[in-house]
Structure 1
């Protein structure tokens, strides 16, 4: 009987134990039977599952397979792995694994990201119309007017029409006070329940303590989510800056972007006005740099502005009509070719305010007329007419209205 010896598979290379005098393959940063620098297309990471790689071969179905031998390579000391048994000489087959596909990461600026919900807060010296405040979702924290022995919330307990009607017969000069830090904290806490951030813009720190109270209120709630800005402005100009912040937030900007844009814009928002008398500014302590005009023997009417948060004189003219004409000229000079955003404010002087609005209407992208509130009127006095304005190429608001469509309060 003829006995056939088993035929060895010439395609499978038998592994042998490395020479004992040979250093560890792992110490030389390469595996047995592998090149140190793989050929192009074969440089990807291979999974060995703790086995010795014997290379790739063709399977019967035509696919590539990888031959692996059980057991680990020698450890750094040159011996076997202390926790693994010796290789038993059997060979196992494993299909070559494909690298896992990388999942795309969502970009922070992608359209699918939800923008933060931002609440816009200001104080009652912004002198904005109530319907516009409601439509824009702006929150107003009122100042207090101390008038005829009563403490009245500005725009809540007393309206401009009532105040200017009673002012000529008042026995004492009205005074004002800023909201407390507790009022701001209560307002902020309520808004943070429904909003991610708050941008709070207020009257110039040099004219009122409102900004300081707002900062304290933010510290009492969450200063990381409440951003308080000193507008360095008042009244009509503060109202414009608040509307601009509302417009930016409505476009989906983050709170930091709103703060940055508003801070940049306040340098370009101007306030021009004239007063019938400087006495109210003097009594209220808000006369600022215009104190140089006091005591003048000339019967002049000042053209004033707000500079660095203070009332500052620009020019002196002989009549109030000339002062208003100069206010119009200064405002028109702000136009860069794309119109102006303008709010005309007045203290019981609707006729003069309408005249200014009619002359500015051809160059106005945004135009509103609104009376000054009791707190601002208590310091400016009756008869004041002025404008807050900036060039519409910075940020158009699209709120133009007929000059005759005035808001009576």
Structure 2
């Protein structure tokens, strides 16, 4: 039976990363300037960041129920095993919509082999799970093995990140207006992570150099088995800082690989330019 891996564009994996793998990425929607765009299809992260720097308000929308129904029913008709690794339910309603589509599909096709998994991850933390699932499927591994490995990775995936401007987090309801104003004035960098799929502020650090060092320290505190891991770094149009962070990690640890990609248009619309995020597996 054919195994089909499904994800959405919040995984922040560009098409070239997934070339040759049985992975389909569904675009979320970006809305601004009285128009709608499909993430990774007809709008780029650079366009979104440029608009945000000019003061544009960017909105986003999840994958539609009809899109999921079309894909799920097609998989059912073709007798395919479909595994959808979803963007965190704590940040988007996409997972809930997919579960509704699964229910409706199984009413029509009771034998449909559908698996909907809430990764509770975002950006390249989510992307690493999708990438490995695609590689396992391409190698001919069983669906049960792919699902088990994906669930294990989801539970262990750490997200450590900071933002350049607290104003964008304020707009998304993550910090108060006063905190955003004071933080910007004092050049305070918030350090955040994910807990049960939701963003949680952890520390406030003054200065970019210090926050990079602290990100590496937190990684070392939470994982004592970094050697051999594939680490990921995503950035909100600040590639130089991402490379700087990667070099700091390579200087201290013999990691297998460091994947660096831009924070996509959908997540970037909420975190803003200058976002820097580090992803790895905890102990």
Q: Do the two structures share a fold, i.e. TM-score over 0.5? A: yes
If the TM-score is normalised by the length of the shorter chain, which range does it land in?
A: 0.7 to 0.9
In the TM superposition, residue 124 of structure 1 has moved relative to its aligned partner by 0.4
Matched, 1:147 2:16: no
TM-score computed with the length of structure 1 as normaliser: 0.62
Aligned to 2:62: 178
RMSD: 2.3
The equivalent position to 1:343 in structure 2, one of 232, 242, 264, is 232
Distance in 2 of aligned mates of 1:320 and 1:227: 41
Distance in 1 of aligned mates of 2:153 and 2:178: 30
Within 5 Å, which residues of 2 pair with 1:50-89?
none
Larger fraction in helix = 2
Matched, 1:380 2:264: no
Higher RCO (CA < 8 A, seq sep 6+): 2
Aligned to 1:307: 195
Within 5 Å, which residues of 2 pair with 1:78-157?
116-157=1-42
Quickly say closer, same or farther: Cα 1:239–1:291, change in 2 above 3 A: farther
Within 5 Å, which residues of 2 pair with 1:117-266?
117-171=2-56, 173-192=57-76, 196-222=80-106, 224-266=112-154
Aligned to 1:325: 213
Within 5 Å, which residues of 2 pair with 1:4-83?
none
In the TM superposition, residue 138 of structure 1 has moved relative to its aligned partner by 1.1
Q: Is the 8 A contact 1:301 1:320 kept in 2?
A: yes
Distance in 2 of aligned mates of 1:339 and 1:316: 31
Distance in 2 of aligned mates of 1:205 and 1:219: 17
Quickly say closer, same or farther: Cα 1:379–1:246, change in 2 above 3 A: same
Quickly say closer, same or farther: Cα 1:315–1:386, change in 2 above 3 A: same
Indicate the SS of the match to 2:43: coil
Indicate the SS of the match to 2:156: coil
TM-score computed with the length of structure 2 as normaliser: 0.88
Question: Could you list the runs of 5+ residues in structure 2 that have no partner in the other structure?
Answer: none
In the TM superposition, residue 353 of structure 1 has moved relative to its aligned partner by 0.7
Distance in 1 of aligned mates of 2:280 and 2:209: 20
Quickly say closer, same or farther: Cα 1:325–1:121, change in 2 above 3 A: same
Q: Is the 8 A contact 1:120 1:200 kept in 2?
A: yes
In the TM superposition, residue 167 of structure 1 has moved relative to its aligned partner by 2.4
